[in-house]
């Protein structure tokens, strides 16, 4: 990696953490445990008291929330990717 790549990666990590901090606790915890900590989904289901199907719903909602905050914080137009 060159210096620009390192700086860009650090800025991206900083931005993601800022957005996560703005999110509701449950959404923030869910995204961290699945994507950053790479925890087992069955264990996450147990911790959250939900089944795998509802975990999928919660994850979808959390990702949509993250996307909306990301776009708002970056003044980017929102595109519908569904």
Residue ranges of the alpha helices (H) in the chain? Answer: 3-22, 25-31, 41-48, 52-73
Instruction: Pick 3-73's CATH classification: 1.20.5.440, 1.10.10.10, 1.10.760.10, 1.10.3720.10.
Output: 1.10.10.10
Q: What is the pTM of this model?
A: 0.77
* Cα 23 from Cα 31, distance rounded (Å): 10
So where are the chain's domains? Answer: 3-73
- pLDDT at site 79: 53
59 has pLDDT over 90: yes
* Residue whose entry in the numeric block shows the structure tokens 């993250």: 66
* Cα 45 from Cα 5, distance rounded (Å): 36
- pLDDT at site 80: 55
Q: What is the pLDDT of residues 1-38, one digit of tens each?
A: 789 888 888 998 899 999 999 999 999 999 999 999 99
Which string of b and e fits 33-62 if b means at least 16 CB within 10 Å?
bbeeeeeeeeebbeeeeeeeeebeebbeeb
64 has pLDDT over 70: yes
69 has pLDDT over 80: yes
């Amino acid at each position: 990696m060159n210096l620009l790549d390192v700086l860009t990666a650090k800025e991206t990590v900083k931005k993601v953490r800022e957005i996560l901090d703005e999110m509701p606790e449950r959404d923030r915890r869910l995204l961290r445990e699945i994507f950053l900590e790479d925890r087992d989904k069955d264990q996450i289901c147990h911790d959250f008291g939900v089944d795998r199907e509802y975990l999928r719903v919660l994850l979808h909602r959390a990702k949509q929330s993250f996307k909306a905050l990301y776009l708002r914080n970056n003044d980017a137009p929102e595109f519908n990717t569904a």
